[in-house]
């Protein structure tokens, strides 16, 4: 039986199938009202892990979730990410891991989410122009100060994960990964060995799953949708995998959440596993 929950950092229990809030419109009007409804419906359906980031609208996504869900129900984890900032000169988004920027983004996230502590904070990307020790050291200081509970990383290699674990306790990794794209397979394997939560972004290949004949065939045999098959495969792939599919439509949300109850047979598992190569050198991620 596939486990339905996972303890991030060994103590923070969440249901494994979460929700990615990135695609929720935040501008005033009917679209925002729908976004509020989707976020609330996710919690009604039992989702306990919701992913956002400073990058998503410069904090507007965080504010949306707070408007929809605050005061947060017991057991709900809203995790956010920092480390990408908008240039004051060009207006373009860029990596920015300078300690003062990270600290400022954390303070703003606390304010926008209306909390005193971020139970899980992830570094959106490593900034190659800032020493790793400076980036992670700033986050560790925020953790020591009680403003952050646990720390994670995103879009990293196995080597970077090893380096980071010498500085902080890494409890989660968020890399691109799905049934058709397993470039970061070695990172998932490393996370599984260490008991680190692996949050795959783009978990259903942006709809490409439905166009793949083998996935469509498995879906038909299981009386499910290709999206549900792709999510069920992720949940079946490893107990540390916590998919965070996103949508701005309640119907799609309900379809996604229902994937947690879909069970693949060994034959289905083998057919899906054969769709993309698994063997990758440890440094290719």
CB 215 within 8 A of CB 209: yes
CB 122 within 8 A of CB 151: yes
CB 150 within 8 A of CB 119: yes
Report how far residue 205's alpha carbon sits from residue 277's, in angstroms, rounded to the nearest whole number. 16
Tokens of 279: 């063997």
From the CA atom positions of the chain, what is the Rg in Å? 18
CB 49 within 8 A of CB 6: no
- Length in residues, the chain: 285
Catalytic residue among 56, 70, 72, 177: 56
Residues contacting 4, CB < 8 A, separation 6+: 15, 16, 17, 260
CB 168 within 8 A of CB 151: yes
CA distances from 160 to 134, 155, 156, 211 (A): 14, 10, 6, 34
Q: Is 177 a catalytic residue?
A: no
The catalytic residues are 56
């Amino acid at each position: 039986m596939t486990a339905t929950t996972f303890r991030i950092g060994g103590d923070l229990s969440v249901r494994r199938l979460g929700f990615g809030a990135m695609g929720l419109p935040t501008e005033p009007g009917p679209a925002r009202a729908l976004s509020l409804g989707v976020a609330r419906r996710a919690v009604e359906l039992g989702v306990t892990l919701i992913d956002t980031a400073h990058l998503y609208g410069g904090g507007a996504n965080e504010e949306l979730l707070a408007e929809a869900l605050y005061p947060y129900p017991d057991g709900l984890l809203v995790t956010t990410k920092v480390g990408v900032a908008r240039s004051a000169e060009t207006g373009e988004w860029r990596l920015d891991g300078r300690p003062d920027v990270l600290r400022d983004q954390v303070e703003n996230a606390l304010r926008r989410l209306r909390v005193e502590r971020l139970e899980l904070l992830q570094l959106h990307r490593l900034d190659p122009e800032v020493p790793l020790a400076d980036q992670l050291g700033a986050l560790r200081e925020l953790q020591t100060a009680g403003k952050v509970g646990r720390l994670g990383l995103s879009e990293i290699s196995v080597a970077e994960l090893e380096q980071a674990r010498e500085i902080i306790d890494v409890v989660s990794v968020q890399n691109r990964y799905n049934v058709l794209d397993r470039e970061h397979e070695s990172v998932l394997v490393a996370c599984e060995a260490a008991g680190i939560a692996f949050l795959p972004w783009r978990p259903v290949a942006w709809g490409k799953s439905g166009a793949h004949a083998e996935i469509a065939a498995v879906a038909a045999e299981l009386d499910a949708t290709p999206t549900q098959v792709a999510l069920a495969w992720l949940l079946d792939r490893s107990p540390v995998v916590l998919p965070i599919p996103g949508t701005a439509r309640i119907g799609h949300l309900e379809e996604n959440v229902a994937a947690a109850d879909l069970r693949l047979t060994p034959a289905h598992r083998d057919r899906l596993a054969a769709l993309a190569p698994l063997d990758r050198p440890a440094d290719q991620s």
